[in-house]
Amino acid sequence: MAFSTTGQLLLTGVPGHELDAETARLFRAIQPGGFILFGRNIRSASQLRKLIDDLRDLSEIEPVITIDQEGGRVSRLRLIGSEPPNAFQLRMKNDAGLIRRHGTLTGKLLRLFGFNLDLCPVLDLSFDDEADNSLKGRCYGATVEQVIRNAGAFNDALRAEAVASCGKHFPGYACASLDPHHELPVINRTRAELDAEELAVFRHFAPSVDSMMICHASYPSLDASDALDAAGTPASLSRAVITGLLREEFGFNGLIMTDDLDMGAILNHYGLEEMLRLAIGAGNDFAMICHRMEVLGRAKEILDGCKNAGAALERVAAFKERLAPPASFSEDEFRRLDAEVWDLRVETLGAEAAARRSPEDGKRSPVEHY
């Protein structure tokens, strides 16, 4: 049975490391379907668990609680613990056992804090490991076979710990020449090229990931309307890409969400109402708004009028039926698991490299959502 409030179609950020009275009132009124946490929300292990418990307490319907915990620079928990190796570093070791350990440890840590969804694994191919398109260090392979093997090992291990997974970024940022945090990339790959590489990966994972995140890039070969619009339609707002390709052709039955709608690729081209109507009309179940808390009230009003909201609400409800409750929390268990993450880092990188601090260590990125 679907939930009645369209607030369930919002996956929203949280402004600070504790819930102030005004934010709590806003969330109680809107009842978002889920919350995504960032570095700005994390101060200590016990503080993080309390924040998540508070979010669950104000939610009338069990919320999705999610985070980007990939490895390397996209590891929010490195602010309070060890930084896991990233996908590129694990790929270079060519040891699926290390990747499975990473997935298992990630799942155990997230359950300990109360997360029930990890926005992982990245399924993008890496055609250039140095490309400035937001994917540096985050790709499990340079070939279809590598990504399937490596991302599959992480995905299976994460899900075995009762944390839901998310394949991203469909249909693939691999050939993006621009960072979508700033502007909309146009990817001029033919359908045959996409089928042979990027889409081959996502087609493989369609039965085995719990959710998919849709990227902000235009693909003229996938959406014929792009031929009529010089700017192009982002995949995240394209019915041809989400419903036609991912749902109908690939048979994906899980939860579908946009990437952060506060990115420049969207904000530079769409107002709030058009953006949300297109997102839900295209077939997304979650519209992700990570930073602009002030628009959430209006966003819910807009979603109330979206004709596709009923189908999306049914899919959100089905997804939530499978969510696992948090594990019992203790500081000792966090320290034990964090020590295992450090051991994994040393085994992957070597002791000297593992101990070396990068310029990003301990800092919060100005662009927090990758």
Helices 96-113 and 45-57 pack at an angle, to 10 degrees, of 60
| Residue showing tokens 């985050």 | 138
- The active-site residue out of 68, 118, 226, 259 is 259
**Among 209, 329, 288, which residue's Cα sits nearest to residue 11?**
288
Q: Which residue in the list 169, 181, 204, 269 is annotated as catalytic? A: 181
Mean pLDDT per 10-residue segment, the chain (370 residues): 77 96 96 97 98 98 97 96 96 97 98 98 92 84 97 98 98 85 90 97 98 96 71 92 98 97 92 96 97 94 93 97 96 98 97 73 43
pTM for this predicted structure: 0.94
Q: Please, how many CA atoms are within 13 Å of residue 307, restricted to the half-sphere of its CB?
A: 3
CATH topology classification for 64-355? TIM Barrel (3.20.20)
Q: What's the Cα-to-Cα distance from 231 to each of 228, 245, 265, 268, rounded to whole Å?
A: 9, 21, 10, 11
pLDDT in tens, 233-267: 999 999 999 999 999 999 999 999 999 999 989 99
What per-residue confidence (pLDDT) applies to 74?
95
Q: How is the chain split among helix, strand and coil, in percent rounded to 5? A: 45, 10, 40
Q: Is the dihedral of CA 172, 174, 179, 184 positive or negative?
A: negative
Give me the residue label for tokens 């440890």. 105
Q: Do residues 214 and 259 lie in contact, with contact meaning Cβ atoms separated by under 8 Å?
A: yes
The CA–CA distances, whole Å, from 186 to 121, 217, 274, 365 equal 23, 6, 20, 25
What pLDDT sits at residue 349? Answer: 95
Q: State the pLDDT at residue 357.
A: 58
Rounded to whole angstroms, the Cα distance separating 167 from 247 reads 14
Q: What is the C-alpha to C-alpha distance for residues 272 and 299, in angstroms, rounded to an integer?
A: 7
132-170 b/e (C-beta count within 10 Å ≥ 16 → b): ebbbbbbbbbbebebbbbbbbbbbebbbebbbbbbbbbb
Sheet with 34-37: strands ordered across: 117-118, 64-67, 34-37, 10-13, 287-289
Which neighbouring-strand residues pair with 117? 66, 164
Consecutive H or E run containing 300: helix 296-304
User: Which CA distances in Å does 287 have to 142, 272, 279, 349?
Assistant: 30, 11, 7, 37
Q: Domain locations in the chain?
A: 64-355
Instruction: Find, among 263, 85, 79, the residue nearest to 169 by Cα.
Output: 263
pLDDT in tens, 269-282: 999 999 999 999 99
Catalytic residue check, 262: no
95's tokens: 């040891």
In the annotation, is 182 catalytic? no
C-alpha 339/C-alpha 348 separation (Å) is 14
What's the rounded Cα separation, in Å, for the pair 30 and 225?
34
Name the residue among 189, 185, 236, 215 with its Cα closest to residue 124: 215
Could you tell me which residues come within 8 angstroms of residue 1 by beta carbon, excluding any fewer than 6 positions away? 317
Pairwise CA distance, residues 276 & 306, whole Å:
8
